[in-house]
Amino acid sequence: MTKPSIPKGTRDFGQIEMARRNYIFDTIKGVFALYGFQQIETPAMENIGTLMGKYGEEGDKLLFRIQNSGEKAALAPEKGLRYDLTVPFARYVVQHREELSFPFKRFQIQPVWRADRPQKGRYREFYQCDVDVIGSDSLLGELELIQIVEEVYRRLGINVCLHINNRKILAGIAEVIGAPEKIVDITVAIDKLDKIGVEAVNAELVERGLNDDQVAALQPILNLSGTTAEKLTALKGILANSEIGLKGVEEMEVVFNELDIVDCTLNIELDLCLARGLNYYTGAIFEVKALDAQIGSITGGGRYDNLTGIFGLPGVSGVGISFGADRIYDVLTELDLFPKELQSTTQVLFATFGAEELNYALKWAKALRAQNIAVEVYPEPTKMKKQMGYADAKQIPYVAIVGSDEMNNNTVMLKNMSTGEQKQVSLEELCTIL
């Protein structure tokens, strides 16, 4: 007999895990709604042509392809599991553009798949919680996304730092070091700085075709220090001969000024080494890291000016971010930040001594559920120790015991499972307690 198993990089989620995951999803959804974002969903699979070429050379290698089957398999377009939610969203916007009002503000919470090497905080199947606004060039989009990050992590109790940069600044840097055609190579390499270190990044830059002078010219730019204002001032001098670079600096100044206006208290760092390897980013880029856990980025995103253009709708700008629910889960678990009450959803269990008592309990359970109180009735009048053990295992806070005396008095014996205290209560009293 084959031992049951699941593919590497995937996980089962039991009842406790699902309660915790739903806590994350519900928290994030609640914040998204505050800013007027509405939910959509797209299929797990897309035509492979929709996905290929949107994530860079390395991203394309991580696409899961789906083998066609059936009578007309040879004629059917090849398909793949979605790599992220942004490209399917762009496809959705183009396909449904006549039905949408712009700017279109949507959020999407669904699984994505990547043929990556499984490791801590990195899975082959994982959920993303995406929020995007498309159809507006306004930098108010960037501001609102940063405010959403601030509020989500405030509610979850996680201390974070948001790293921000601008792809126009990176393009300007490529220009001033004399390698404008190498912008993709530069961004892919420096995006690994935290993971592989400066020497390995410099070696990769050389491998990707930069000469020693260009690599040397890049070092002081990437090592700029000081306050945000000091970094932006220095960049104006460095990028004085790059129109696109100065445009990126200007956009960053606008965003930081807006953050001052709304008194944002989020820890934010202008990080010139932040590149995010996805090819479709054209403006601001974001990554969020937990300060008290070593797990990498837990949120990321940025501005994309023409992602819909590849599907036949050019000139539509958008900006979005994605919350990595699985990594957030791992951070909350490591830091023991999940609310304790998530362990139990049932508020009271009815335990009975016989068939008549069971029928009596069913009527009470119906009345309590009508008051939106979560109730379970143990399905058979077995030994009381077994029924109490069930309540303990599920961390149900109260057990309502029904015997002949309780039936005669139209009450139940209510036991507080934390304190052990027992008392007879009426239905009205039980509703008040619960």
Q: What is the mean pLDDT of the chain?
A: 91
Q: Both 109 and 140 in a single domain? A: yes
CA atoms within 13 A on the CB side of 278: 25
CATH number of the domain encompassing residue 356: 3.40.50.800
pLDDT digits (tens, 9 = 90+) for 283-334: 999 999 999 998 889 999 999 887 788 788 888 899 999 999 989 999 999 9
277, part of any domain: yes
Q: Which domain holds residue 397?
A: 344-433
Is 384 inside any structural domain? Answer: yes
Q: What is the tens place of the pLDDT at every residue in 68-127?
A: 876 666 667 889 999 999 889 989 999 999 999 999 999 999 999 999 888 876 789 999
CA-nearest of 126, 91, 96 to 13 is 126
CA–CA dist 79, 124 (Å, integer): 17
Tell me which residue has tokens 């830091």: 335
Same domain? 85 vs 226:
yes
Which of 344, 19, 337 has its CA nearest to residue 154? Answer: 337
With CA atoms as reference, report the closest residue to 248 among 291, 303, 193: 303
**pLDDT at position 70, please?**
67
Whether 26 and 114 map to the same domain: the answer is: yes
CA distance 253 to 342: 42
Give me 260's structure tokens: 């001052």
Whether the link from the prior residue into 103 is cis, omega within 30° of 0, is: yes
Residue 339 lies in a domain: no
Contacting residues for 337 by C-beta, under 8 A, at least 6 apart = 156, 157, 158, 331
In a domain, residue 7? The reply is: no
Residues 112 and 82 occupy one common structural domain: yes
For residues 350 and 314, membership in a common domain is answered with: no
Tally of domains within the chain: 2
Highest mean pLDDT among 216-225, 276-285, 365-374: 365-374
Report the run of H or E that residue 47 belongs to, with start and end. strand 45-47
pLDDT of amino acid 121: 64
Same domain? For 200 and 297 the reply is: yes
* Residue ranges in 164-207 assigned as alpha helix (H): 167-176, 183-190, 193-196, 198-207
Residue among 420, 414, 418, 419 nearest 434 (CA): 414
Verify that 48 and 135 share a domain, yes or no. Answer: yes
CB 37 within 8 A of CB 29: no
Residues 6+ apart with CB under 8 A from 260: none
Which pLDDT band, with edges at 50, 70 and 90, does 186 fall under? Answer: confident
Region 214-237: mean pLDDT is 88
Residue 275, number of CB atoms within 10 A of its CB: 23
164 within a domain of the structure (yes/no): yes
Q: Could you tell me if 317 and 305 are in contact, meaning their C-beta atoms sit under 8 angstroms apart?
A: yes
Residue 389 and residue 277 share a domain: no
10 occurs within a structural domain: no
281 with 361, same domain? no
25 vs 55, higher pLDDT:
25
